Amino acid sequence: MNDFLPAALLEKVSPSHSQAIPYYREVGQECQLFEFAFQRGLPLLIKGPTGCGKTRFVAHMAARLERPLITVACHDDLSAADLVGRHLIGDGETIWSDGPLTRSVREGGICYLDEIVEARKDTTVVLHPLTDDRRVLPIERTGELLQAPSEFMLVASYNPGYQNLLKNLKPSTRQRFVAIEFSYPQAEIETDIIVQESGIDRACAQTLVAIAQAFRRLQHYHLEESASTRLLIYAAKLMLAGLTPRAACHFALAQPLSDEASTIAALLEVIHLHF
């Protein structure tokens, strides 16, 4: 993500609520893009590998914009009713219960659909009237037509690495979003993040990033997914807990990435070149 937006419009975070804002180290100008999309009522799609900061970014922006955040982890059983709501039976009466999407629309919050490609295509269709200029949510079962307030924003993420022919976003769904691609940050920024998130010293953080970069170069040959920023933070935390650097990297960087003995051995060799 290089410079792609005009001069910063984002308001500075006021000290009064900065305490509650989750730490997020900006990599490009993604905070501005989010702010523009929020101001203009545009839904945002964030693409990127696992553990690269998508969820943290959304949490950071929701806090910064002072909007409540509702996160839905999408899965292949997720139905439209899980998002919109359903009638529940209790004490002999039927009560309507809003789903997370409906609650978020009513509250004027940010609804974050994590791994949206996991959801069935007939489920994501429910998003269509909300993600074009109508910005409405029809609730068939109650006959309600909710108009989304200007503060409501829909954000979705997915990992293109998991994509296959079966799990692909319908073009009619994806073309309703402004989209941004995330990748693992450059070495200096990733080092800052590891230091900040784990408390480890900078030299160790730099070595962890060097290992991750070596793994990432191997990715296409041996690994489905490479070492994420999240795993590097885990390795740093294990080191701070008292594990040797080699052991920490074994459990946080090598084992989570593969089940193949030969691949794990190759990853350990890389680790041993650094620690």
Residues forming contacts to ligand ADP in the complex (CB under 6 A) are 23-25, 27, 48, 50-56, 193, 197, 229-230, 233
Compute the least distance from the CB of residue 5 to ligand ADP, in Å.
17
For ligand ADP, the closer CB: 54 or 250: 54
| Separation of alpha carbons 226 and 62, rounded Å | 28
Alpha-carbon distances of 269 from 201, 239, 248, 263, rounded to whole Å: 23, 19, 14, 10
Which lies closer to ligand ADP via its Cβ, residue 48 or residue 85?
48
CB of 114 to ligand ADP, least distance (A): 7
User: For residues 52 and 148, which CB has a smaller minimum distance to ligand ADP in the complex?
Assistant: 52
DSSP string over the chain: --S-S-S--PPPPPHHHHTTSPP---SSSHHHHHHHHHHHT--EEEE--TTSSHHHHHHHHHHHTT--EEEEE--TT--HHHHHEEEEEETTEEEEEE-HHHHHHHHT-EEEEETGGGS-HHHHGGGGGGSSTT-EEEETTTTEEEEPPTT-EEEEEE-GGG--SSS---HHHHTTSEEEE--PPPHHHHHHHHHHHH---HHHHHHHHHHHHHHHHHHHHH-SS---HHHHHHHHHHHHHT--HHHHHIIIIIGGG-S-HHHHHHHHHHHHHH-
| Contact between 107 and 101 (Cβ < 8 Å) | no
Task: Find the shortest distance in angstroms from Cβ 66 to ligand ADP.
Answer: 20
Nearer to ligand ADP (CB atom), residue 189 or residue 266: 189
Q: Which of 213, 253, 250 is nearest to 230 (CA)?
A: 253
Taking the least distance from each CB to ligand ADP, the nearer of 102 and 159 is: 159
CB of 8 to ligand ADP, least distance (A): 18
At closest approach, how far in Å is the CB of 183 from ligand ADP? Answer: 10
Residue nearest to ligand ADP (CB): 53
Closer by beta carbon to ligand ADP, 191 or else 229: 229
Report the nearest approach of ligand ADP to the CB of residue 172 (Å). 25
CB nearer ligand ADP, residue 105 or residue 155: 155
